[in-house]
Amino acid sequence: MNFSSIKLDRSNLTCFKKDVFRVVRAIPYGRTMSYKDVAKKIGSPKACRAVGRALARNPLPIIIPCHRVIGSNGELRGFSTPGGIDIKRKLLLMEGSRFRRSLR
């Protein structure tokens, strides 16, 4: 599913968040990217945690598919919507994504 044609009001976002959300929004259905990969893609390779914090404040978690961002070791990491990691896992499984099964 691709929601790229939906226009978003990004006027209240920092440049950093705009960059993070742009990269995450471009992750194709059924694919994943690590927080580290997102950080590298926006030109801030050491900003993995900042990427995570930006995604934790994602106002539109399906339109900006932050569930597709996982740990660099392939494990599922944080997801701030109700249901947390369980919902992230279900969304990724529904999309046919491959990720490392974590204990959590």
* Interatomic CA distance for residues 60 and 43, integer angstroms: 23
Residue with tokens 């992750």: 27
Closest of 28, 58, 52 to residue 38, by C-alpha: 52
15 is annotated as an active-site residue: no
Backbone angles phi, psi at 63, to 5 degrees: -65, -40
> Tokens in use for 76?
């599922």
Q: Where are any strands of DSSP class E within 35-92?
A: 69-70
Find the catalytic residue in 38, 66, 69, 76: 66
Q: Which residues are designated catalytic?
A: 66
